[in-house]
Amino acid sequence: GGAPPPLAMHWGAREHGKKWGKPSEEMMGPNSSRKENAVQTDFVKGDKGQVASIKIEGNAEGVDFVLRHASDNKWFKAPDGDFFARVKEEDDDPNDTPLEQLSLSEAGAGMGVDSIAAFESRGGLSLMERFNAARTVLKDAAGDRSRLRAVMVWLRFSQMRQLAWQRKHNTKPTLLSQEADKLSMLITSKWAQARGVDAELLRMMLSAVPRGSNGDDGQAIRDQILVIMRQFEIKKRKGCWMEEWHQKLHNNSTPDDIIICEAYIKFCESEGNLGVFYDHLRAHGLDRKRMQQFERPILQEPVYFPSIKTGLINAFTDYLRILKTVHSGADLARSVLFSKHLLDGKCAPLVVSAIGVQANPNASPEELIAALGATLEARQMVCASLEANAGNSGGARDLLYLDLALESHARLLVERSLASLSERSVATALLLAVESLAYSLRFGAPPAPPRATSGDEDETTQRAAAADAAQAEQTRELVEGLGDWAALVNELGGDVSAWGKRGGLRGVAVVERLQRAMGGLVERVHAELQPAAEVVGAAIRNKNPDKTPEAWSVALFTEEVLRGGSSAPAALVLSKAGAIFRALGHMPTWQIVSPGPKEGAAGKIVVANIKDVQETIFTEPTVLIASAVTGEEEVPEGVVAVITSDAPDILSHIAVRSRGLGVLFASCFDETVLQSLSSSEGKFAACKIVGGTVTVDTSASPAAAAAPPLKAAASSSSAPKASLGGAPRVFDKWAILDTELPLGGARVSGAKSSNLVALRAAAPAWVLTPRSAVLPFGCLDQALAAPENAAAATTYKQLAASIVPAAHASIPQLEKMRALIQGLAAPRDMKAAVIETLAKAGISLSEAQWPAAFESIKQVWASAWNERASIACGRAGLGLKDVSMAVLVQKVVESEYAFVVHTANPTSGNRDEIYAEIVVGQGEALVGNSPGRALGFSCAKDLKGAPTLLSMPSKGLALHGAGLIFRSDSNSEDLPDFSGAGLFDSVPMVPNSVSSVSYRAERLVTDPSFAEDMMRKIAEASVAVEKAMGGVPQDIEGCWVGGEVHIVQ
């Protein structure tokens, strides 16, 4: 018995998880004194024993303390360390604004950015609270794509460790697991109701969030580590690394613990090799310094215990499963386990086999490809089950996580396969890599139904509809390309070395189509995510005490998202496959669109999108490395050479203009060469065509560019004015038959009409031409003179006088002029005159169709005032008011295939050889330069040899038309000093319909005999046309219908 010895308590305040903080004076009760940073409070006798009084206030969560017998200086601690008395919940922070009170103003463009930034500005936070905050913002995101983007970006920054997972705050793993569970369920339920890009964003969002659980697994993180430590008596052994990790796990477990656990297992497996331990940490973005900076720091190094090695490996392998359940959503093995009851029984064995191959560092190329096939087969089963279980949020969530895990596994297998890809394996690898991407688009984001737009929607709604349409188009193109590829491999076999030249060209065509779809995907995703990343990133960094996310992570945000998905490995496979097939098809690295001058071209390298600089006047000769070319652009003034990765059609506007201006224009299909040229920006380069290849010497001095300037490099002020020929005849009627066109004297139309008449008179009968009529020069002036258009005529004169050709400042006036013309009323006598003349030509136009016809006519007139024409005419010394516009009216030839022919090969300058291109459907796909290649061939004019096939078609869309077409026929086309072709518009009265092309069903591609017969007949017709036109080289547009050749222009 007797009285207990007197006690003293040594204690410190715990704030935001930091132990043994210095207490304030207000917290110190009676009988207290400071002992360095701690406080000693003596116990005194009370009613129920010895008592010590202290006051807990402010941010303190409780006190850390130990006890001491004052008489014998004996110290007392808890079994696992210092005592800790909690007085408030660990996740409460009196300085934090309740989430429901956070500002949600429109400052973040309706994205919820204010809420996000306010949360990240907190003095204390945790991953659990971030998930809770994300749920709150996401709940209000119904129909709000901008908010979905913001939350996705926010969670992705968090996943990338660009935002703190813990700041002066502790969280029970149980609560973290429960909050992750709630958030992942909310995302899944919204995904099930979403379509198009919304569904895609939600799927990306889910990939940045752990699955979570109802809390049992979270508590197991705390409990099981203690079980392991007690089972193996870790505390009795040398070293305290595991004790430090235990303290972190107990107070604030994060996804880093998965990496630490994996590293420790590898450490044990390697007989205690610390290099292996730290290598694994570094490979996953973690290192010793970062662990030392945890709020529960890990300062020690792990200790190897040989006698219990096997037991520790087994125990921590089981523990790793618990960590992954809480912190990782898309873990393949766990995802299969969670969704096994929803899947075909064959799925799990497929996944197990694929995991085994990936884990084998010595797996053969054949095994890797087989494992990739098994992974894709499993994805097919998962996607089928996902469609059936979309209404079951729990099941759909686990299936989505499994699909994400399979996508990641497929990416790893593709990346490992790249080094060993050969002619024997590339066909299968390409199919599987692109199929993986197609699954991610098609099943991960179900296509949105087409939106009916009235034009009255706000800009945000219109952008969303356009993004959904682009996503659906990219998915369709990938699926079509995969179908063509599968059919090609089925037809020719999996070993592409036996395909021959034609097979190689077909391979190139499919690869280009798939690459084009992927390029569109990358551009769309970048436009969707990058602006949001910059807004959200800046808003957080401005308020975040850690000053994160870092600038690099914002700048590369979309790139990192894409690298983590299926598109990056698919792009690598396609690039490698393209090189193999180009070699097989004897396709050169370079395609010459315009040869330029014989002596070559030299100038300073500039890298730019040509559309962005087409109005720029370069003051010195310039070699433009163009990142993108649509074919509709104008060659910028001062540019002497254009090199691009795109392959514009040979009759696209920019191709025709380049040849007319003497500009060297070439497409390069070697990424290494293009990257080298791009990195040489600012240097001078000398370009020359040698044997069908462009040589580029970047060591050239500026003196190489001092030769007499090319036509393209001359300024518009010094350019000689092009001659427009004789003055147009004064207006005397609204329409005339093509047979009435005068052969001499004053002109009433452009060269298109007169050339067709001359051709019909001189060409063989089997070369068919459509009957036509012409609205001659002067019709627009006559329409303006009509009483109905008196006010418009005055404005027209004012605008025409104010427009300066090739001047950027005139663009608004050009837009006004086009709008004015398209708003004209038809003069009273015009309708009857036009309908009657067309009827005489055998062209039917009813009164009911007249309004549509007149709209088409006005569009042709208005095209004389487009921006492209303004630039071109200005450089030729012409004013737009000098251009007279006639309209050639023809019945549309409903073609199976369309072609363009140059009877002097424009790429080589060989006048004894024709060059031609063929597409499915109408020729507007060629002259309008719709994306993709045409079938290209050349043929000697003596017609003695077979045509030489140069390329196979890859355009994804075909145009189909009927009714009438109204073609521009100006006085500025085909002039000796000015290439005006392609400047102005031709307009079908009924808009062309568009269809997707399945080349596996097109005889042009699948039937070599049919294709050769068509090429030969087109060549024969072209030679006949040139002869009929006096032996002068011709540019020809025509159609193929039922084995017959029609020349339309």
Nearest to 431 by CA among 500, 511, 336, 538: 511
- Say how many residues make up the chain: 1049
- Interval 525-536: pLDDT, tens: 999 999 999 999
Residue with tokens 């010459």: 592
Sorting pLDDT into bands at 50, 70 and 90, what band is 953?
very high
- Interval 554-588: pLDDT, tens: 998 998 998 888 888 888 898 889 889 999 999 88
Cα separation, 640 vs 711, in Å, equals 8
Q: Across residues 444-461, what is the average pLDDT?
A: 59
The end-to-end CA distance of the chain, in Å, is 120
Nearest to 915 by CA among 776, 774, 1034: 1034
| Residue 865: Cβ within 10 Å count | 26
Cα separation, 822 vs 868, in Å, equals 18
Strand order in the sheet with 885-891: 736-737, 772-775, 885-891, 964-970, 987-988
Q: How far is CA 4 from CA 44, 45, 67, 68, 549, in A?
A: 11, 10, 14, 12, 57
| Residue-level pLDDT at 443 | 55
| Residue 590: Cβ within 10 Å count | 20
> Lowest mean pLDDT: which of 377-386, 500-509, 867-876, 881-890?
867-876
| Residue-level pLDDT at 155 | 96
| Residue-level pLDDT at 816 | 92
**937 pairs with which residues across the strands?**
916, 949
C-alpha radius of gyration, the chain, whole number: 37
Q: Is 714 helix (H, G, I), strand (E, B) or coil?
A: coil
Cα separation, 952 vs 488, in Å, equals 13
H/E element, 553: helix 551-555
- Interval 732-769: pLDDT, tens: 899 999 888 876 655 788 888 888 888 888 889 999 99
Average pLDDT, the chain: 85
- Residue 768 phi, psi (nearest 5): -90, 145
- Interval 58-94: pLDDT, tens: 667 788 888 888 777 777 776 566 787 776 644 444 4
What is the CA angle 393-397-398, rounded to 5? 125
- β-pairing, 44-46 with 693-697? unpaired
| Residue-level pLDDT at 16 | 64
| Residue-level pLDDT at 305 | 92
Q: Are 352 and 374 a contacting pair, CB within 8 Å? A: no
What is the CA angle 297-118-63, rounded to 5? 40
| Residue-level pLDDT at 716 | 41
Nearest to 538 by CA among 963, 12, 153, 1042: 153
Q: Which long-range contacts (CB under 8 A, 24 or more apart) does 493-498 make?
A: 494/424, 494/427, 494/428, 495/423, 495/424, 495/427, 496/423, 496/424, 496/426, 496/427, 496/580, 496/581, 496/584, 497/423, 497/424, 497/584
Q: Is the pLDDT of residue 818 over 90?
A: yes
Question: Cα 1010 to chain center, whole Å?
Answer: 38
Q: Which two tokens stand for residue 264?
A: 């420790």
What is the CA angle 971-973-974, rounded to 5? 125
Cα separation, 383 vs 396, in Å, equals 10
> Lowest mean pLDDT: which of 24-28, 40-44, 294-298, 966-970?
24-28
Q: Is 604 helix (H, G, I), strand (E, B) or coil?
A: strand
Q: Which amino acid is at 255?
A: P
| Residue-level pLDDT at 438 | 87
- Interval 631-684: pLDDT, tens: 778 888 899 999 998 877 766 778 877 887 889 998 888 888 888 899 999 999
Q: Across residues 295-299, what is the average pLDDT?
A: 89
| Residue-level pLDDT at 169 | 82
Q: Is the pLDDT of residue 195 over 70?
A: yes
| Residue-level pLDDT at 373 | 93
**975 pairs with which residues across the strands?**
978
Sorting pLDDT into bands at 50, 70 and 90, what band is 519?
confident
Sorting pLDDT into bands at 50, 70 and 90, what band is 723?
low
H/E element, 97: none
Cα torsion 74, 78, 83, 87 to 10°: value is -140
b/e map of 185-215 (b: 16 or more CB within 10 Å)?
bbbbbbbbebbbbbbbbbbbbbbbbbbbbeb
Residue with tokens 């096994």: 340
Q: Residues of the chain with pLDDT > 90: what percent? A: 45
- Respond yes or no on whether the N-terminal peptide bond of residue 549 is cis (omega within 30° of 0): yes
Cα separation, 593 vs 653, in Å, equals 12
Cα separation, 397 vs 866, in Å, equals 53
Q: Are 958 and 921 a contacting pair, CB within 8 Å? A: yes
